[in-house]
Structure 1
Amino acid sequence: MNNQSGNVSLDRHAKQTLKNMNKFIDGEGLKRKRLAKKLGMSESNFSDYLNGKRSNILDFSGSLAEVLGLESTYFMNQNFNYKPDEPENMRAIAFSTGTLSKEGEEGLNQLLRVCEMIEIYNMEENSNA
């Protein structure tokens, strides 16, 4: 349903889902142009969804989640608690860089393990200070 200014009236659940999607996309540093292409839509339509200018936000969020290899209801969770620095969320990393070869994926896994070891080492070093 549109109001007079042309904006779509969104219910609370759709607004929260929209907020969750934007938080995830920004946190992962995903390219909106690439996401739009994967969803088979123009960048302007994609932006309209993310800016709340389109109505079927919940359907859109399901499609976006599936493209990212996530559960279709991922962004709809009211207790959405996204943490961008979690290394186990490699689907988004691989998606934002394009398709990885098997060797590239193995290299990325090794790099993430090294980062985790450095983080653990730094935590231990700081606790001994």
Structure 2
Amino acid sequence: MTNFHEQSSLDRHVKQTLENINTFIDGEGLKRKRLAKRLGMSESNFSDYLNGKRSNILDFSVKLAEVLGLEKNYFMNPRFDYQPVESDTRSTVFSSGALSKEGEEGLHQLLRVCEMIETYNMEDRPNA
């Protein structure tokens, strides 16, 4: 049985981990819908995790870090110090390895096309 102080410390750690995750996602300009899909969960379930409505946040943070190619404890680091990358390099977050300048531009254009397709597909759904 955990005592009050241990539970309070765990709660602070979970809260800080969530703040780290949200800071990273916002700073990188990542699409929550794509991340949810990569994790094999619905957008609403993913959103529940980000808003602290789910209980196994630390397990979620490990899975998210793995999907993003980061160390498993990346978001749990108590000294988490996220420094946003330049906006031109955000689109390479899901790429494998370094890209040339032309490769980065091509990937950026491809992601813009994908976002347009998602937007048009959502317009076709009456309840989207």
Range class of TM-score, shorter chain:
0.5 to 0.7
Q: Number of matched residues?
A: 95
Match of 1:50 in 2: 50
Point out 4+ residue stretches in structure 1 off by more than 4 angstroms. Answer: 108-111
In the alignment, structure 2 segments of 5+ residues that lack a partner are 1-9, 106-128
Structure with greater Cα Rg: 1
Higher helix share: 2
Q: CA deviation at 1:86?
A: 5.9
AA matched with 1:21: I
CA distance, structure 2, for counterparts of residue 15 and residue 43 of structure 1: 21
In the alignment, structure 1 segments of 5+ residues that lack a partner are 1-9, 112-129
Q: Percent identity, aligned pairs only?
A: 66
CA distance, structure 1, for counterparts of residue 33 and residue 56 of structure 2: 20
Task: Give the alignment's TM-score, normalised by structure 1.
Answer: 0.64
- CA-based RMSD of the aligned residues comes to 2.7
Residue correspondence of structure 1 range 94-113 to structure 2 within 5 A: 94-95=92-93, 105-107=99-101
Match of 1:23 in 2: 23
Partner-residue secondary structure (3-state), 1:105: coil
